Amino acid sequence: MAAAKLKIAYHIKKEEGREKSFFNRIGVAFVNKDGSLNLMLEYLPLPTVNKDGTVEPMTINIRDYEPKEKKDAESFGE
């Protein structure tokens, strides 16, 4: 499968008192010939319930797959 058609699904969670959000990988998405997406989740995150009982909207972000660069074995121990 072409890497351009593979995407990664993340659950984005913002916590009170933290400047940055958490991006938790929850699955993958595949682009179909017609441009639509198939989403395959490894798990479904639970919604956040506030102290007042309201439920926070859940954000799932789909991003292009970018393979991690292999570390250069020769650079170790320098």
- Per-residue pLDDT of 65-77, as tens digits, reads 988 775 444 444 5
Residue among 34, 33, 21 at smallest CA distance from 61: 21
pLDDT tier, 5 (very low <50, low <70, confident <90, very high otherwise):
confident
Q: Give me the residue label for tokens 């970018």.
A: 66
Return the domain boundaries, the chain.
Answer: 1-51
- State pLDDT tens for residues 9-64: 999 987 777 888 889 999 999 999 999 999 999 998 888 888 899 988 888 999 99
Query: 45: closest CA among 15, 16, 29, 25?
Result: 25
How far apart CA 35 and CA 24 sit, in angstroms, is: 25
Q: For the residues of 55-78, what is the DSSP string, one character each?
A: BPPPEEEEEE--PPPPP-GGGTT-
Model pTM score:
0.70
